[in-house]
Amino acid sequence: MKARKIVDEMDSYVPGKSQDEIAQDFNLKKEDIIKLGSNENPWGPSPKAMDAIKQEINTINRYPESQLGELASEIARYSGVDDSQVIIGGDGADEIIDVLAKTFIDAGDEFIVPLPSYMYYEYLLKQYGASPIYARWDIEKNELDVDSIYNAITDKTKMIFLCSPNNPNGALIDQEVFIDIASKNPNILIVIDEAYFEYSEVTNKDLINEFNNVFIIRTFSKVLGLAGMRIGYGLACSEIIEYMHRIKPVFSITRLSFIAALNTLKDTEYIENSIKKGIESRQYLYDEISKIDGLFVFPSKSNFMLINIKETGFTASELALELMKQGIIVRDCTSFKGLDEYWIRISICTLDEDKKFIEILKEVLG
């Protein structure tokens, strides 16, 4: 049986090694491995969410609710928007991107991604016959090359993906850039990825009231500590949301994910502490890495930071392997389009884990 042409031509997504695999390969204890590669919340989920899950566990023989009104209302309150401006998806924010593509992309359309950035936009949209057109981040200045966005626009452009803070470099895009692009291109959907907005303490959510071509992606996987529950949401004008609900899968949110998300949003103290500790960890890592010869680290407004290691004599894959042998997982950024083989990305951890990472990093670098 032959697959669709576009599927036949695609490469499979290859995830990084699991903690179990690393523990087995390098004779380590799984509990001693420190993950700095996945941009997660290292302090665990909300206690209120965990308690609520325990109370709900005996209902998992039943289908989840198809109507997500209570959670939509809580997200709307958290985000400062109307209930009708919210859509909720499973599989983190990835289902939201997928439903966006199903709703608006036709074969032959183009979408713009400035490189480097989150690579899953391209992976998902190419499945529907759309072609990526690359703009660029000016890595030396650590800012978006706005002219490259305008130069990439054609009459086939359907979407522009702009991640702020951007993954992997952690830089923000000024709101005036979004306003300018959206106002000049009313028939192009401007997709603003705010997966990490809580760490930056900056949001562009008010733009959905000014423009009917702005869509904001968010997730429960970062500050909200539910990466394993796979919940994301989108914010946009009610017309866009209504279109998307026509084709969104009905039961894509599990009962336990629903309960976890709802109770996490109600746990204000947990959210505030997660943001505070995340920013403190980020600052500690930035300060310590800045002191190490041979490393250049970008200031970040996210829960991760990008590091150039070229002067160390290691490539990213070589350094990642040496750290992995010591139980440290970092992100080798060689696979990021727009970066060469001398970049790694690290994410925040607990302060004790941060200190252990810095100690091992110095040992490996000599």
Residue range 53-84, pLDDT digits in tens: 999 999 999 988 777 899 999 999 999 999 99
Alpha helix stretches (DSSP H) within the chain? 5-9, 19-25, 47-56, 69-79, 94-104, 120-125, 146-152, 175-184, 197-200, 207-210, 238-245, 255-265, 268-290, 316-325, 351-365
User: Are the C-beta atoms of 84 and 241 separated by less than 8 Å?
Assistant: yes
> What is the pTM assigned to this prediction?
0.96
User: Are the C-beta atoms of 13 and 123 separated by less than 8 Å?
Assistant: yes
Rounded Cα gap, residues 256 and 56, in angstroms: 7
User: Are the C-beta atoms of 252 and 95 separated by less than 8 Å?
Assistant: yes
User: Are the C-beta atoms of 263 and 48 separated by less than 8 Å?
Assistant: yes
Amino acid at the residue 52 = A
CATH, range 47-267: 3.40.640.10
Rounded Cα gap, residues 266 and 69, in angstroms: 15
Q: Which of 14-18, 289-293, 306-310, 342-346 comes out lowest in average pLDDT?
A: 14-18
Summarised one tens digit per residue, pLDDT across range 187-236 is: 999 999 999 999 999 999 999 999 999 999 999 999 999 999 999 999 99
Amino acid at the residue 186 = P
Nearest-CA neighbor of 128 among 98, 153, 152, 154? 98
Tell me whether strands 304-308 and 296-297 are parallel, antiparallel or unpaired. Answer: antiparallel
For residue 363, the 8-state DSSP code is H
For residue 18, the 8-state DSSP code is P
Question: What is the mean predicted confidence (pLDDT) over 320-335?
Answer: 96
pLDDT band at 6 (very low <50, low <70, confident <90, very high): confident
User: Are the C-beta atoms of 107 and 130 separated by less than 8 Å?
Assistant: yes
Give the architecture (CATH level 2) of 5-44+269-365.
Answer: Alpha-Beta Complex (3.90)
For the chain, the C-alpha Rg in angstroms (whole number) is 21
Q: Domain boundaries in the chain?
A: 5-44+269-365, 47-267
Mean pLDDT of all residues in the chain?
A: 95
pLDDT band at 10 (very low <50, low <70, confident <90, very high): confident
At residue 12, does pLDDT exceed 80?
no
Nearest-CA neighbor of 175 among 203, 133, 194, 213? 203
Rounded Cα gap, residues 80 and 294, in angstroms: 44
Q: Which of 27-31, 90-94, 112-116, 298-302 comes out lowest in average pLDDT?
A: 90-94
Amino acid at the residue 74 = E
